[in-house]
Amino acid sequence: MFVMLLSACLLVLRTSGLAQLTEDEKNTIDIVKRTQNSVVYVTNIQLVRDFFSWAEEQIPRGTGSGFIWDDQGHIITNYHVIEDGDLFSVTLPNQDQRQAKLVGREPAKDIAVLKIEGSLKDLYPVKIGLSDNLQVGQKVIAIGNPFGFDHTVTAGIVSALGRSMPGVGGVTIKEMIQTDASINPGNSGGPLLNSAGELIGMNTMIISPSGASSGIGFAIPVDTIKKIVPQIIKYGRVIRPGLGLTYLPDNYAQQLDIQGVIIYSVPAGSEASKKGIKGLTRGRLGRIVIQDIIKEVDGKKVNSFDDLYNLLDNYKIGDTVTLTLERNGQKRKVQLTLVQSD
């Protein structure tokens, strides 16, 4: 009789403990359970040859997080997680380790796609959401592997939207999501989820004097990921629009106190060449002469290659843009059809 009474008391205690959970806590617990088989641990390995023996050694270069994208075994992570790697190891939620191959990458957006082979049993793609309808203040959940502690969960809110941050690819990443959910080294490449358990972004970077979370983290919005990833899976890279020109690096323009993008060369026979656009030439004494400088695209100012890259990112191949060019202090407008960028 005593044993039955004790069991009943324990059951009541357990039930009351569950009843004390708030709706928000229950929501977080539900999301974690539903995504526990969607987040993986990524290890970047470099092959280093010993100076004396010439034997190759596998040296871990860095680690990060990733998430299952589809039922084909594609895993999404940050480009900086796999940068300069030769081999990639993926640790699954059940601690099974798999080798992964690099499908493709887009450094300018800090996005990379890996693929694992073998059984995908008990692995589930993360549910894809939207990022264009986010609101400052709404709840977010970050899942990843900070400092190697697998499947760590932190929660917070959307602190701000539309942030621009310098990316590892040399250009600014636009429209990033700022969050106060703790993001630390190793969280990179992990999912940022909304209260419906949907992917709204990929945790990417933090601002911190100490290198650890200070409540200012940034995620690449899922709408950007949805635009980039299918192209990488299909082509191995991103097919993006361009002008079919090459440009002088920005540091030369800065040294010359020039605002705009200096055209380095124009392919012979191209539309740009036929319309009189010129790159660098040599004067009579062999000195390099600057010809055309891109100052605007469709009336929007271009002060650097960063500006030009992000402006063209809003167009498609085949669209027509109007360039404002400057040569010898004189401005003129030229229309060009956007072509596939190399």
Question: Per residue in 196-210, pLDDT tens?
Answer: 999 999 999 988 777
Say what the pLDDT of residue 213 is: 72
CATH topology identical between 127-225 and 241-340 = no
C-alpha angle 248-251-252 in degrees, rounded to nearest 5: 55
Burial of 151 (0-12, 13-18, 19+ CB in 10 A): middle
Interval 12-26: pLDDT, tens? 445 455 569 999 999
Q: Which of 176, 195, 182, 112 is nearest to 145 (CA)?
A: 182
Interval 86-102: pLDDT, tens? 999 999 999 999 999 99
The CATH class given to the 39-116 domain equals mainly beta
208 φ, ψ (degrees, to nearest 5): -160, 125
**Domain residue limits, the chain:** 39-116, 127-225, 241-340
| pLDDT of 150 over the 90 cut | no
Say what the pLDDT of residue 10 is: 47
Number of H helices, E strands in the chain: 7, 23
| pLDDT of 3 over the 50 cut | no
What is the C-alpha to C-alpha distance for residues 174 and 153, in angstroms, rounded to an integer? 26
What is the C-alpha to C-alpha distance for residues 294 and 319, in angstroms, rounded to an integer? 18
Residue 39 C-beta-side C-alpha neighbours within 13 Å: 31
110, 250, 306, 307: the catalytic one is 110
* Other beta carbons within 10 Å of 68: 25
**In terms of pLDDT, which residue wins out, 251 or 169?**
251
Active site residue 110: yes
Task: Record the pTM.
Answer: 0.85
- Tell which phi-psi region holds residue 166, choosing left (phi > 0), alpha (psi between -120 and 50) or beta: beta
Beta strands in 16-55 (DSSP E): 39-49
38, 65, 74, 80: the catalytic one is 80
Two tokens at 73? 């075994």
Contact predicate 219/201, CB 8 Å: yes
Interval 280-300: pLDDT, tens? 998 887 888 999 999 999 999
Active site residue 80: yes
188, 213, 250, 307: the catalytic one is 188
* For range 114-123, the mean pLDDT: 92
Domain 241-340 matching CATH 3.30.2270.10: the answer reads: no
**CATH assignment of 127-225?**
2.40.10.10
